[in-house]
Each structure stands twice: as structure tokens, then as C-alpha cells.
């Protein structure tokens, strides 16, 4: 493919940026206290509560290194104190009570206060600030402070409210500092209260962090951390192969198996809360139920796992993993290519007259994502579906999804670190949600009442019925639960995280 002038300019700029940072990186890597991690994503912005990047699961590992969440999570996803040490509802669930820890400090040395918590929650609930989860945070208000205890009125009952305080956009922000410097100033010099603070940032190249010595959770094992932004999977392999990075993740499983056997390296895998799925947009030809179901029946999910992922993966047929609260093993979508052909024939399609549409996918963002879609397109071709592949960056997916302009089919990895069906099925399939592209009224009518359902047993049962309907109608195509591969130097000890967030705070020297 010939290079355009724009391509050359981009490459030149990127090369110049890397050359300008090379001396700094060389010095940093020479220090034994340093940890270098190759991430599979760039960092578009530092504010973890606004914009599309706030709901990107992969970036959360960076955000959680710099900022504290209201409520923390252990690597097994169980909840633990964060900035809040205690939380709960009153008896009739008309109020919430939160106790703010007294030993947390911001990176500038000032204390984290109940006022910071209130301001952060009010800001998150304000539609003008651009928080993508605003519709959750806006359900509480009327805050009052008594010592370290914050009380708020429940304007609309949200059963997952406290779970969200450990999830996307659930970060405490510094009121006084933010109001002093504004949004632009905060992007230029962010201040958090997490285990690491920012030392240097080169956009599209790397982020250098240093330990927050006054961190309430205890000092980090590594005093300085370099996070390199390496979206290309083969480049991440080169990083660990050459010793330029000590930790890489989300590489292909072929490379994982090879690298973990290499002297000086080791590796771990763990099933994560991420799933691979294909969004179905309610545009032609996906308004035809036969086409949707044929697309589902024609995919041999286990073959994808065995052939492309070296067996690392768990087949799923709903938008829940076995660890999620609403997982129902009785809802299944079989691999049945003959049934797919029958359905397509009923709508006038065949291998000689295939139905045609576009499918979008990332390439190298998750292990074998592009290759998986290539294989699926091949399976579809055998039954009478001709799909054109369009490759895009993950940021473009968020942009298109928010505008409801995804292609008829779009591959995505859905993260759900709190394992609640509202944050998987609910958000992905409820038409008014900014994260959904299926606008069907049936889904709206089924999911709508579940948002505020106070009976937890009834709420979970309701979502199981929704997942069953999705499977019966082919409204989305769940593929598999990811198993995250992490390769690292055998001089390190790395604790894997079921959320998929790679956290330097969970790493320490081996032994």
C-alpha cells in the first residue's frame, strides 16, 4: 500500500516523539526499582469520569493507578473499602450513608475530604459535565456532611448504585484543585489520590509514574513505573522478547505459550470479566430476524477458541459469564449451519445469492480479534452471508456506538468488572442507553422496569428472561469469555485481576 504524505507525517511525528524520549527511557530502565509495562491502548485523556475513554475497560488499569475509587475491588472482584470505608442504605432505601476515610491524601499533599466526595458525585450526576454514566449518578442528591459521614437522598432507587462506585467513572476527584485549574489545567497536570502520581507524559508514547509515598493503602513495591502505549500486538511481543518491557498482556496465545517457556520469562492466564461479542445494529439487513439468527447459528464458537486462542477461552451464549450474577446455563445458541441455511433461504438468500453487510472490528486490541472475525466471515460465507470487514481503532468504536452509527455488525469486548446484568445486558441492549445500538421496543419494555427493581431476586430473574429473548431473536451475538494472557519477567510477581485491569500496584519483585 503506498504511503500518503499524511502517513509519512504521522510516522515522522511518532518517531520524533520516541527519539526525544529515548534518553529518558534508557535512564529509567537502568534503575532497578523501575517497572515497565507495555499496554495495548493509548490514553486519550486523564479525567476518568468524562468522555468515551471513561468507559474503556482497558484504560481502567491506568486510571486506578492514579485515582482512587469510592469503593475498591480485590483481584477476585469482591468489594473492599476505597475512599469510602463504609456504605449502605437506610431501612426504606430513601437515603444512603457513606463514611469517608480520614487517612487519604491527594498527590499535592492535601487531604481527601467528604467535600471532595460530595463534589465528585454531584459533578458526575450533572448532565453538563459529560459523564457517560450520568444517568446513574443523578439518582442521588441532597447531600449533607457530618464529620466524615456523607448522607444523600435517593431521588430514584438504583439497585446497582454502590456497585457503580467500584466501576466505570466511579472515581473521587479533587474539588479544590480542579476548580482552581479547570478542565484544561487538570488535563495538563492531573492530581489524584491513588498509589501512583504522574511524573511525565508523552502522548501516544508513554506515561511515567512515581509512587505516592503517602498512599493510604501502603507504599507501592516499585517506586517508578513506565507505561508504554503499544496498541500493536506484535510490537508488544517485541517489547517483552527484547527485554524493553517487563510486562505485556493481551498478546496472541501462540506467543504467550512461546514466551512463557523462554528463560527469564513466565506467564499467567486468568478468565476475566471481559467477553467477546458482536453488536447487532437494527439497520438493514439486521431488521430481518432470519438473517440475525442465521449469523448466530453459523458460528462455531468452540472452534474459534480451540484453533485461534489455543483453547484459552470459555464459550458463552448470553451476555453473562459464569461469574456474573444472572448467568443461566440453560440459555444456549447451538452451532447449526444447516439451520442457518434454512433461515436464510426463507428470506430469499443462499450461497449463490448471499445477504451482504459490513462488520467492523479492532485489530490487535484483543488476542486474535481480527483473525476471529476473519474466521467468522468464512463461516458465514458457507451458509449465504457475505460480510465485508472494516478495521478501526477502539476509540472509533466508542464514537460510532455513541452516535448509534455502527455497521450492521460490530465486534467488541465488553467489560463488566462488577458482574451485574444491568452493566452487561442492560446497557448493551437498552435502546436509550448510549452504549446500545439496538433500539427495539421489546427490549426497552423488558429492561426498563428492571433498572429500579427493588426485589433483587426478581431483578436477576428478569435479566435472565431478557437474555433468553436476545438469544431467541438474535439481537446480539455473544462469542466467548476472555482468558487474559500476561507475560512478565521471572524477577517479578504479578497478581492477575479478574477485571482485566493490569495494575502495577499488584506487582512486586519475585520472592
**Residue 2: inside a domain, yes or no?**
no
Q: Give the residue-averaged pLDDT of 451-456.
A: 92
Share of the chain above pLDDT 70, in %: 94
Q: Give the residue-averaged pLDDT of 163-190.
A: 97
**CA gap 463, 469 in Å, rounded:** 10
Asked if the model's pLDDT at residue 11 lies above 60, the reply is: no
Residues 359 and 420 in one domain: yes
Q: Give the residue-averaged pLDDT of 149-178.
A: 97
Residues 156 and 277 in one domain: no
C-alpha separations of 460 from 29, 58, 78, 159 in Å:
49, 27, 19, 11
Residues 92 and 30 in one domain: no
Residue that is last in its domain, among 177, 206, 241: 177
Nearest 10 degrees: CA dihedral of 57, 404, 434, 278? -40
H helix and E strand count, the chain = 16, 19
Q: Give the residue-averaged pLDDT of 422-447.
A: 95
pLDDT on residue 22: 46
Q: How many independent structural domains does the chain possess? A: 3
Residues 343 and 294 in one domain: yes
Residues 259 and 161 in one domain: no
Residues 166 and 69 in one domain: yes
Residue 119: which CATH number? 3.90.76.10
- Counting Cα atoms < 13 Å in the Cβ hemisphere of 348 gives 3
Contacts of 422 (CB under 8 A, 6+ apart): 159, 160, 450, 451, 463
Residues 474 and 496 in one domain: no
**CA gap 494, 233 in Å, rounded:** 20
Asked if the model's pLDDT at residue 2 lies above 60, the reply is: no
**Residue 318: inside a domain, yes or no?**
yes
Residue 233: which CATH number? 3.40.190.10
Distance of CA 89 to the CA centre of its chain: 28
Q: For residue 57, what pLDDT band results from cuts at 50, 70 and 90? A: confident
Helix (H) or strand (E) holding 460: helix 456-473
Residue 433: which CATH number? 3.10.105.10
Instruction: State which residues form the domain around 35.
Output: 14-43+186-267+485-509
Distance of CA 239 to the CA centre of its chain: 23
**CA gap 463, 403 in Å, rounded:** 26
Share the mean pLDDT of the chain: 92
Residues 61 and 161 in one domain: yes
**Residue 301: inside a domain, yes or no?**
yes
pTM of the prediction? 0.80
**Residue 219: inside a domain, yes or no?**
yes
**Residue 476: inside a domain, yes or no?**
yes
pLDDT on residue 52: 83
318-353 residue pLDDT tens: 999 988 889 999 999 999 999 999 999 999 999 999
Q: Give the residue-averaged pLDDT of 138-165.
A: 97
Q: For residue 146, what pLDDT band results from cuts at 50, 70 and 90? A: very high
Residues 335 and 477 in one domain: yes
Residues 321 and 427 in one domain: yes
**CA gap 140, 54 in Å, rounded:** 20
pLDDT on residue 55: 87
Asked if the model's pLDDT at residue 469 lies above 50, the reply is: yes
62-120 residue pLDDT tens: 999 999 999 999 998 899 999 999 999 999 999 999 999 999 999 999 999 999 999 99
Residues 369 and 462 in one domain: yes
Residue that is last in its domain, among 127, 146, 177: 177
Residues 230 and 303 in one domain: no
**Residue 316: inside a domain, yes or no?**
yes
**Residue 170: inside a domain, yes or no?**
yes
Q: Cell match 423488558: residue?
A: 446
Residue that is last in its domain, among 129, 159, 177: 177
**Residue 436: inside a domain, yes or no?**
yes
Amino acid at each position: 500500500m503506498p504511503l500518503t504524505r499524511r502517513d509519512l507525517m504521522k510516522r515522522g511525528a511518532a518517531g520524533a516523539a520516541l527519539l526525544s524520549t529515548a534518553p529518558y527511557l534508557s535512564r529509567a530502565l537502568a534503575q532497578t526499582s523501575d517497572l515497565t509495562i507495555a499496554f495495548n491502548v493509548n490514553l486519550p485523556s486523564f479525567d476518568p469520569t468524562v468522555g468515551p475513554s471513561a468507559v474503556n475497560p482497558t484504560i481502567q488499569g491506568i486510571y486506578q493507578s492514579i485515582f482512587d475509587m469510592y469503593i475498591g475491588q480485590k483481584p477476585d472482584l469482591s468489594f473492599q473499602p476505597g475512599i469510602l470505608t463504609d456504605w449502605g442504605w437506610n431501612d426504606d432505601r430513601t437515603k444512603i450513608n457513606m463514611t469517608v476515610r480520614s487517612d487519604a491524601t491527594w498527590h499535592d499533599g492535601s487531604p481527601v475530604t467528604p467535600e471532595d466526595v460530595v463534589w465528585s458525585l454531584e459533578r458526575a450526576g450533572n448532565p453538563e459535565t459529560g459523564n457517560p454514566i450520568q444517568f446513574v449518578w443523578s439518582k442521588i442528591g441532597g447531600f449533607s456532611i457530618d464529620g466524615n459521614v456523607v448522607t444523600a437522598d435517593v431521588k430514584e432507587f438504583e439497585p446497582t448504585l454502590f456497585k457503580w462506585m467500584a466501576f466505570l467513572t466511579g472515581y473521587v476527584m479533587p474539588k479544590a484543585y480542579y476548580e482552581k485549574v479547570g478542565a484544561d489545567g487538570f488535563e495538563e497536570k492531573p492530581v489524584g489520590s491513588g498509589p501512583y502520581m504522574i511524573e511525565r507524559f508523552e502522548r501516544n508514547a508513554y506515561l511515567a509514574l512515581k509512587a505516592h509515598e503517602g498512599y493510604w493503602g501502603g507504599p507501592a513495591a516499585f517506586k517508578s513505573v513506565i507505561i508504554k502505549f503499544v496498541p500493536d500486538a506484535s510490537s508488544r511481543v517485541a517489547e517483552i522478547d527484547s527485554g524493553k518491557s517487563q510486562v505485556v498482556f493481551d498478546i496472541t496465545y501462540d506467543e504467550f505459550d512461546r514466551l512463557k517457556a523462554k528463560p527469564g520469562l513466565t506467564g499467567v492466564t486468568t478468565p476475566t470479566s471481559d467477553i467477546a461479542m458482536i453488536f447487532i445494529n437494527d439497520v438493514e439487513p439486521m431488521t430481518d430476524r432470519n438473517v440475525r439468527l442465521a449469523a448466530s447459528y453459523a458460528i462455531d464458537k468452540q472452534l474459534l477458541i480451540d484453533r485461534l486462542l489455543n483453547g484459552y477461552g470459555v464459550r458463552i451464549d448470553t451476555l453473562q459469564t459464569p461469574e456474573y450474577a444472572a448467568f443461566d446455563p440453560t440459555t444456549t445458541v447451538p452451532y447449526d449451519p444447516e439451520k442457518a441455511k434454512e433461515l436464510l433461504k426463507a428470506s430469499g438468500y443462499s450461497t449463490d445469492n448471499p445477504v451482504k453487510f459490513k462488520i467492523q472490528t479492532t485489530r490487535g486490541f484483543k488476542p486474535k480479534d481480527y483473525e476471529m472475525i476473519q474466521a467468522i466471515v468464512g463461516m458465514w460465507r458457507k451458509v449465504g452471508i457475505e460480510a465485508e470487514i472494516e478495521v478501526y481503532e477502539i476509540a472509533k468504536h466508542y464514537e460510532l456506538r455513541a452516535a448509534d452509527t455502527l455497521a450492521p455488525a460490530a465486534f467488541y469486548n465488553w467489560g463488566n468488572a462488577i458482574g451485574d446484568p444491568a452493566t452487561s445486558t442492560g446497557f448493551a441492549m437498552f435502546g436509550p442507553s448510549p452504549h446500545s445500538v439496538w433500539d427495539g421496543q421489546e427490549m426497552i419494555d423488558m429492561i426498563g422496569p428492571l433498572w429500579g427493581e427493588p426485589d433483587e431476586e426478581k431483578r436477576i430473574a428478569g435479566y435472565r428472561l431478557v437474555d433468553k429473548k436476545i438469544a431467541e431473536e438474535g439481537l446480539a451475538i455473544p462469542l466467548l469469555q476472555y482468558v487474559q494472557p500476561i507475560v512478565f519477567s521471572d524477577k517479578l510477581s504479578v497478581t492477575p485481576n479478574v477485571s482485566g485491569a493490569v495494575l502495577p500496584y499488584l506487582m512486586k519483585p519475585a520472592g
